Structure 1
Amino acid sequence: MGRSLALSLVLAGVVATSPPATADGGTKIRRTSYGIPHVLASDYRSLGLGLGYAFAEDNACVMADIVVTLSAERSKWFGPENLDRDLYHQRLNESKVVEREIPAQSRQARDLVRGYAAGFNRYLSQTPNACGGAKWVRPITELDVWRRAHQIAGLTGSEGFHDAIAAAQPPGAPVAATQLVQRSEQRPGSNGVALGRSATAAGTGMVLGNPHFYWGDDYRFYQHHLTIPGELNVSGAGLFGVPLVNIGHNDRLGWTHTASEAQTMTLSKLTLVPGDPTSYVVDGQAHKMIAEQVTVGGTTRTLYRTPDGPLVEDAEALQWTDTTAYVLRDANRGNLRVIDQWLAIARARSVPDLNAALVRHHALPWVNTIAADATGTTYYSDVQVVPNVTDELRTRCATGPNIGFVILDGSRASCGWEGRLSASSLPKLVRNDHVSNMNDSPWLANPAAPLTGYPSIVGDVGTERSARTRMGLDMITSGTPFTLSSLEGAMFGNRNLTAEQGLAAVVAMCQANPTLPASDGRPVDVRAACATLSTWPGTGDTGKSSRGAYFWRTFIQFTGRAGATRWLVPFDPADPAHTPRGLNAADPGVQRAFADAVRAFEVAGRPVDLRLDDVQQYEGIPIHGCRGPEGCFNVISVPGAPQPVGPITHGSSFVMAVELTKNGPRMSSLLIYGQSADRSSPHHTDQAHLYAQKKWVTGAFTEREIARNPDLTVKVLRG
């Protein structure tokens, strides 16, 4: 490398030890331990080629399955129970919303997507029996990849309502309305922490990324490292099917995301024309709904919409009646800008750069951003796509039912909204100590500098924070400066806030009351459960000491029922990080919850001293962690009894701890379920075994670190 080229790479923010890509413009895929690919290319198309090929080596069948969904072919290949989902996607595809937006995306984004599809297809062409020769496996197109990006952008909007959209029918239609299930702890979540120079031992920036996401194949993370010398050098993880790093770091900046409390869509309550349930009234004028014939296989269904969006219906609060119907309006409809947004984040090298990238593109969907840079500056932002619903509009136009979504009066034209809230109206915070988010609103990103003044559709202010938020704030304000090692230890400490604040009192209560009344008034012998809790250390660790953890989970779940005054010290908005606290074991409702929990174990046929190992497993490997409502930071969402024990569906997934030093990044990570969803792959459970032992994978970022990896393999894709 010549002196001038080396200098230009330093000035461009790329580690000068990065070699040029192969001379013929080919692409290098270097894999280090645990199958992590480091893709080196000379341009975006070649970079996409390498990532698409590497991803296909690990997860070709999952991507093929995703494409079946996006192509509205699930019922064709996997049964009629998939019909509603196919109807949703077929209608979306016929709208051409994705095709219309592709030309507006940057050349780099289009090249990256083009290369990704080509790389995936190259692997398929070399592997004729991929997925056992299943007929539903086919080469993918660039459009498939763009559709996947659009699907992810709409995850908390239209995509999350796909069944309710496909099932929306006028009264008397022979299609049953779906049950709109709110996932609560099962929805996309996350913890994000950024530590600044006053909170770290080395006086630099650190980031802990801990997304709580679905463990199902469609929404796993894939870890990778992407390098175009002089242009891009980013490492981290991205969701399956998109050629991006969503959460990660470069040489000077680290960032993560958490699911935001901001609502990315609204509902409009329509007033229907008497005697005509497919017509609605706006400002006294009748309008006919737009009826669209959608055909999947041999089934044709008429689906309805207005200019604002599709009709949506569920079996409870959002029923389509003779007088009322509901329309969903998604602010992320047509949002393909997410590709360029995450590329701009990856190229940012400081907190000011990151803020500028978020404001310029203003395309993040449904996530907060938490970041730190090598100067020890931290940053919180909720700059994302949010409907332009001001508090004035909401006050004037909001209507019922109260189901946790913004519902506006669709009978008045003045109650509509256009565009998105401006970046200047969305909350941001820069600090030198710390910022964090654990899925509550932006208010307490840093309790020393509460954020206020943002529109209420973004989130609330002055309300009780979740037990997980309070645990996270306690972890990062302990007063001891963090090192990378201590940050790792905090992540897997598996503390349980409700146990810390109430276990001793509950044990004393049940020891004094060996029989307690259940909610139905019948006495329950609680001695066995009490004895189990008396020896439990109060954490989400697995092993012999975990007996009692699963019972505590069930008990805490039951204390949330009406009639229990759970806390000795209630919530105090003047001390929101430390209240409420002190489980009120003397409360009759709490005592009934204890007895009900014992009864639930009896009904489920499980012993009260069941180990956590027996209910939290991945491919037979015990998985430590606990649920957010217990006050656990490291979330593994397996519900308590009497729910049947099944596979882990949600929780900690890709975990990243990175320190941005003056000499480059130091990073530790774990992709708990491994790089591959294929059970025959050596990278399906290898990191789960590490996780069970609370061990981490040491990141390889520089060329020297990659070259020295003992498991290094290199593949070159030419042409």
Structure 2
Amino acid sequence: MGESRTLTKRQKSSLTGRLAAIVTALCLASATMAVQTPPSSAASGAAGERVAEGRRTAHISRTEYGVPHIRARDFDGLGYGYGYAFAQDNVCELADQVVTLRGERSRFFGGDAQSGQESDLASDTYYKGLLRAGTVRRLLGQKAPLGPTTELRRMVEGYAAGYNRYLRDTGVDKLPDPRCKGRPWVRSITALDLWSLVYDVNGATGAAPLAPTIGDAKPPAAGGDGTKAAATSGTRAAVALVQGRRDPAAAAFGSNGWALGRDATRSGTAMVLANPHLPWVGGNFRFYQVQLTIPGTLDVSGAGLYGTPLVLIGHNRELAWTHTASDAQHASLYALRLVPGDPTSYVVDGRTERMKRRTVPVAVRDKNGELSTVERTLYTSRYGPVLSVGWTTKTAYALRDANADNLRSMNTWLAMGKADDLGELRAAQDTYQGIPWTYTLAADTGGDTYFTDSSSVPHLTDEQLARCTLPGSEEVPGALDGSTSACAWGSDPDALVPGVHGPSHQPRLNRTDYVANSNNGPRYTNPQSPLTGLPGTYDDAPRLGQRAQLGLDMIAGRLAGTDGLGAPGFTRSTLRASMLGNRVLSAETGRDDVVGMCRAHPDLKATDGTEVDVREACAALARWDTRADADSRGAALWTTFFDRLLETGPPDTWRRVPHDPAQPLTTPRGIKGDDVRVRRALADAVQDFAARDLPVDSELGDVQKWAGIPLPGCNGDKGCFNVLEAGPDSGTGTPAAGAFGTSFLMAVELTPDGPRTHTLLTYGQSANPASPHYTDQTRLFSGKKWVTERFTAAEIAHDPALEVITLRD
């Protein structure tokens, strides 16, 4: 008789991986495979596969909606397959990102070309400066945990090689995407380019949004008064983001995330809902769905940001997790007191320090196509780079970014993808401390849930914040006093790098019912166990927003069975139905107030003094079911009305019940129908519809579209959980016609038999308008439909849309 023993989780994982490989081989042998035509340089392999000889090997199995499942024997091959698959779908996006990261936009597009609201020349100056300073190379020179692990280095090298293989096989002149076909800026990439991209993503709440402001910084002219033109709206939004202040007018980052434990589900198994809100246009923060498998080592499925080599939100067999944007501060702006007569010197503790200068040459193409080199100068203080905004003869502002030394994020996410339970996930985050600017919500097969803000947060005490925060300027309010070292960041003994809070001071919560977040700070992660006593850098705004209130109300209603979805407790179907129920909290608590007002006053005065008949609008709102479905009639009018109302002043002044700290989950609510601002806002909304020749009962999807497809959802400040902001012309390929909001949806249940998952990538796998995967999932999103994920080898092999490529390099 053989010895009987219990397998550990890791041994089970290894055995499962070996069995999966066997099942895959057997299933693929019998599957009908649709593949690309091999190039002349490729040798033919098994029937239906494309094979070329070499040291890296990867299998790319694409299932319905173009989702690639990459399988390899090592990290070199895994990266190789991932880079190749991504290039097939989004070669233009990564090529364009690399142009930015190399500081070459002015070279290819001209110095007057625009990136958002700032000039390319200023952006190029910042990124050229990073390269000349060797910032990313220096971080790559460190050993793990500070630098990347060996596995990750191989993964990134393979990714670059896979992307370049696609370019070589296809040819730039024959690329399927007309936006970059034959363009000189589409070139091979390097591992350094990818690590630079990772570094830029990590700085998304620090240096990255201020890149043009850093690149354009220069001291005031001699003899001038040092006054500056007002900052652009883009700069003000970036400053607000860096300081941890949400700008309601700016679509920056957001998300909803739920981890539901064994006490919240009917089956007693854990579930996770992922609902990140990010821009739909531009490659920097679009998601790409993928499964990455090395049998016995890694098997993780989910989505990662374009160009990043890993799954950032996803699950394996034992564990699932998501992220939401943290409301903590991840950088500080310091006000520098300048030396009279020398605007490039400043005073700290009574001593003068000179700003460091770095000269940066930037190639610029003029309107005639001729290249020239422009010499630019970057200025740096002890705190970090100096900004152009607010630089006068008396004051300048500098940025200290908590992620300025962070390439550790990929170490963290790879270790999370390998984790077997919440304990190992926590150990991964504590070991590498690389999560840059998000909360983490997770659950495991034990039925437990976990919340933490393990992101990089400056070590500033509440006393420092109170003493050091200055009134600042209109452009940079609330900067810290840079003239004294007493306002500098401290540190924790358990912090991997100086200047930030270590794991022992990070907010954390374990529950068996749920943890939830909608960018509302840690306090009400679960109202039954409020997280209090945190440093102000983590929780400076305990008041809940409308979206956060709605999310918690949705959970409470499902646990009580009062939401109309059946018996208490979550199931996979009720989780999906909750996510896309498209409730609008502001309407649920205020629509009847507005209808009562307009029925009593059918003629209202608009802002311009015009008397407006609102009878039809009033009837439309009365008939509306208060949902933001694509075909809802009344939702479009309500969102327009509410936008106008938000512009009139603080909501508590026109709310029927203002915010009450003793009732954080249910106040404010209602709308004062007798307030002149409320009446004027409705009249203005009706005028707006008339000006656009739209009926007041137009469907929401008539005014909110992507590539002609009607979209559900609305802005979170109106109390929409399913956040979506778009215009009628969205999807035309120009940033002005972009959309923002729900991007990658994942609803996963961790059953004893493996994960059961539904996903939805709202804008599809490809940003190429000519691709069949450009809007295929957008149509699903419009109709509240989901994609059933294929995770196991057998599920993948039996997909009727299966396409398989085997790559060897």
Aligned to 1:327: 398
Aligned to 1:258: 324
Is the 8 Å Cα contact of residues 126 and 378 (structure 2) preserved in structure 1? no
Aligned to 2:431: 360
Deviation at 1:563, TM superposition (A): 7.0
* CA distance in structure 2 between the aligned counterparts of 1:431 and 1:397, rounded to whole angstroms: 37
Deviation at 1:25, TM superposition (A): 6.2
Paired amino acid for 1:710? P
Aligned to 2:664: 576
* Of 261, 267, 279, the match for 1:202: 267
* CA distance in structure 2 between the aligned counterparts of 1:86 and 1:528, rounded to whole angstroms: 53
* CA distance in structure 1 between the aligned counterparts of 2:231 and 2:215, rounded to whole angstroms: 9
* Of 619, 623, 632, the match for 2:720: 632
* Of 502, 510, 521, the match for 2:598: 510
Paired amino acid for 2:418? R
Question: Would the alpha carbon gap of residues 188 and 13 (structure 1) be closer, same or farther in structure 2, given more than 3 Å must change?
Answer: farther
Deviation at 1:523, TM superposition (A): 3.5
Question: Would the alpha carbon gap of residues 11 and 656 (structure 1) be closer, same or farther in structure 2, given more than 3 Å must change?
Answer: closer
* CA distance in structure 1 between the aligned counterparts of 2:109 and 2:605, rounded to whole angstroms: 49
Is the 8 Å Cα contact of residues 713 and 724 (structure 2) preserved in structure 1? yes
The alignment status of 1:63 with 2:94, answered yes or no, reads yes
Aligned to 2:766: 676
* Of 286, 299, 305, the match for 2:374: 299
Aligned to 1:41: 72
* Of 578, 597, 614, the match for 1:526: 614
Paired amino acid for 2:547? R
Aligned to 1:289: 355
The alignment status of 1:467 with 2:546, answered yes or no, reads yes
Question: Would the alpha carbon gap of residues 563 and 489 (structure 1) be closer, same or farther in structure 2, given more than 3 Å must change?
Answer: closer
Q: Deviations over 1:505-547 (max 9, x none)?
A: 211210110122334555333223223222222111112xx23
Which one is further off, 692-701 or 452-461? Answer: 452-461
Aligned to 2:134: 96
Q: Deviations over 1:310-344 (max 9, x none)?
A: 11133xxxx11111110011110131111111001
* CA distance in structure 2 between the aligned counterparts of 1:25 and 1:157, rounded to whole angstroms: 37
* CA distance in structure 1 between the aligned counterparts of 2:353 and 2:293, rounded to whole angstroms: 54
Question: Would the alpha carbon gap of residues 95 and 563 (structure 1) be closer, same or farther in structure 2, given more than 3 Å must change?
Answer: closer
Is the 8 Å Cα contact of residues 636 and 648 (structure 1) preserved in structure 2? no
* Of 110, 134, 147, the match for 2:196: 147
* CA distance in structure 2 between the aligned counterparts of 1:455 and 1:12, rounded to whole angstroms: 43
* CA distance in structure 2 between the aligned counterparts of 1:598 and 1:563, rounded to whole angstroms: 22
Paired amino acid for 1:303? L
* Of 433, 454, 457, the match for 1:386: 457
**Percent sequence identity over matched residues?**
47
Partner of 1:132: helix, strand, or coil? coil
The alignment status of 1:441 with 2:521, answered yes or no, reads yes
Which one is further off, 664-673 or 618-627? Answer: 618-627
Is the 8 Å Cα contact of residues 25 and 42 (structure 1) preserved in structure 2? no
* CA distance in structure 2 between the aligned counterparts of 1:526 and 1:409, rounded to whole angstroms: 53
Which one is further off, 292-301 or 668-677? Answer: 292-301
Deviation at 1:562, TM superposition (A): 1.9
* Of 195, 214, 219, the match for 2:279: 214
Aligned to 2:493: none
Paired amino acid for 2:59? K
* CA distance in structure 2 between the aligned counterparts of 1:14 and 1:415, rounded to whole angstroms: 54
* Of 251, 264, 273, the match for 1:186: 251
The alignment status of 1:557 with 2:652, answered yes or no, reads no
* CA distance in structure 2 between the aligned counterparts of 1:571 and 1:640, rounded to whole angstroms: 34
Which one is further off, 475-484 or 160-169? Answer: 160-169
Aligned to 2:116: none
Partner of 1:681: helix, strand, or coil? coil
Partner of 1:464: helix, strand, or coil? coil
Paired amino acid for 2:448? T
Deviation at 1:143, TM superposition (A): 0.2
The alignment status of 1:31 with 2:62, answered yes or no, reads yes
Is the 8 Å Cα contact of residues 727 and 739 (structure 2) preserved in structure 1? no
Question: Would the alpha carbon gap of residues 16 and 482 (structure 1) be closer, same or farther in structure 2, given more than 3 Å must change?
Answer: farther
Cα RMSD, aligned residues only:
2.5
Aligned to 1:428: 508
* CA distance in structure 2 between the aligned counterparts of 1:452 and 1:9, rounded to whole angstroms: 40
Aligned to 1:10: 12
Is the 8 Å Cα contact of residues 636 and 651 (structure 1) preserved in structure 2? yes
Partner of 1:280: helix, strand, or coil? strand
Question: Would the alpha carbon gap of residues 548 and 672 (structure 1) be closer, same or farther in structure 2, given more than 3 Å must change?
Answer: same
Paired amino acid for 2:12? V
Aligned to 2:45: none
The alignment status of 1:168 with 2:217, answered yes or no, reads yes
Paired amino acid for 1:391? D
Q: Deviations over 1:330-366 (max 9, x none)?
A: 1101311111110011111211211111111111011
* CA distance in structure 1 between the aligned counterparts of 2:15 and 2:625, rounded to whole angstroms: 48
Aligned to 2:150: 107
* Of 82, 85, 95, the match for 1:51: 82
Deviation at 1:151, TM superposition (A): 0.6
* CA distance in structure 2 between the aligned counterparts of 1:652 and 1:330, rounded to whole angstroms: 28
* Of 639, 662, 686, the match for 1:598: 686
Is the 8 Å Cα contact of residues 14 and 233 (structure 1) preserved in structure 2? no
Paired amino acid for 1:591? R
The TM-score normalised by the length of structure 1 is 0.94
Paired amino acid for 1:113? V
Aligned to 1:348: 419
Partner of 2:737: helix, strand, or coil? coil
Paired amino acid for 1:141? T
Aligned to 2:50: none
Q: Deviations over 1:406-438 (max 9, x none)?
A: 621011122111521111111000001111110
Which one is further off, 389-398 or 213-222? Answer: 389-398
* CA distance in structure 2 between the aligned counterparts of 1:401 and 1:13, rounded to whole angstroms: 61
Is the 8 Å Cα contact of residues 547 and 720 (structure 2) preserved in structure 1? yes
User: How many aligned positions are there?
Assistant: 708
1:122-133 counterparts in 2 under 5 A?
Answer: 122-128=165-171, 129=173, 130=175, 131-133=180-182
Deviation at 1:645, TM superposition (A): 12
Is the 8 Å Cα contact of residues 192 and 370 (structure 1) preserved in structure 2? yes
Is the 8 Å Cα contact of residues 14 and 231 (structure 1) preserved in structure 2? no
Deviation at 1:602, TM superposition (A): 4.6
Paired amino acid for 1:85? S
* CA distance in structure 2 between the aligned counterparts of 1:574 and 1:155, rounded to whole angstroms: 35
Question: Would the alpha carbon gap of residues 474 and 676 (structure 1) be closer, same or farther in structure 2, given more than 3 Å must change?
Answer: same
The alignment status of 1:693 with 2:783, answered yes or no, reads yes
Is the 8 Å Cα contact of residues 255 and 276 (structure 2) preserved in structure 1? yes
* CA distance in structure 1 between the aligned counterparts of 2:287 and 2:580, rounded to whole angstroms: 19
* Of 620, 624, 633, the match for 1:547: 633
* CA distance in structure 2 between the aligned counterparts of 1:379 and 1:404, rounded to whole angstroms: 36
Is the 8 Å Cα contact of residues 616 and 647 (structure 1) preserved in structure 2? no
Partner of 1:542: helix, strand, or coil? coil
Is the 8 Å Cα contact of residues 15 and 251 (structure 1) preserved in structure 2? no
* CA distance in structure 2 between the aligned counterparts of 1:287 and 1:44, rounded to whole angstroms: 47
* CA distance in structure 2 between the aligned counterparts of 1:677 and 1:597, rounded to whole angstroms: 34
Deviation at 1:572, TM superposition (A): 2.2
* CA distance in structure 1 between the aligned counterparts of 2:726 and 2:72, rounded to whole angstroms: 42
Aligned to 1:407: 479
* Of 360, 363, 386, the match for 1:311: 386
* CA distance in structure 2 between the aligned counterparts of 1:35 and 1:77, rounded to whole angstroms: 32
Question: Would the alpha carbon gap of residues 580 and 43 (structure 1) be closer, same or farther in structure 2, given more than 3 Å must change?
Answer: same
* CA distance in structure 1 between the aligned counterparts of 2:797 and 2:203, rounded to whole angstroms: 40
* Of 392, 397, 416, the match for 2:488: 416
Structure 2 unaligned residues grouped into runs of 5+: 26-53, 114-119, 143-147, 238-246, 364-372, 490-497, 561-567
Which one is further off, 566-575 or 692-701? Answer: 566-575
* CA distance in structure 2 between the aligned counterparts of 1:233 and 1:458, rounded to whole angstroms: 33
* CA distance in structure 2 between the aligned counterparts of 1:257 and 1:527, rounded to whole angstroms: 45
Deviation at 1:458, TM superposition (A): 1.2
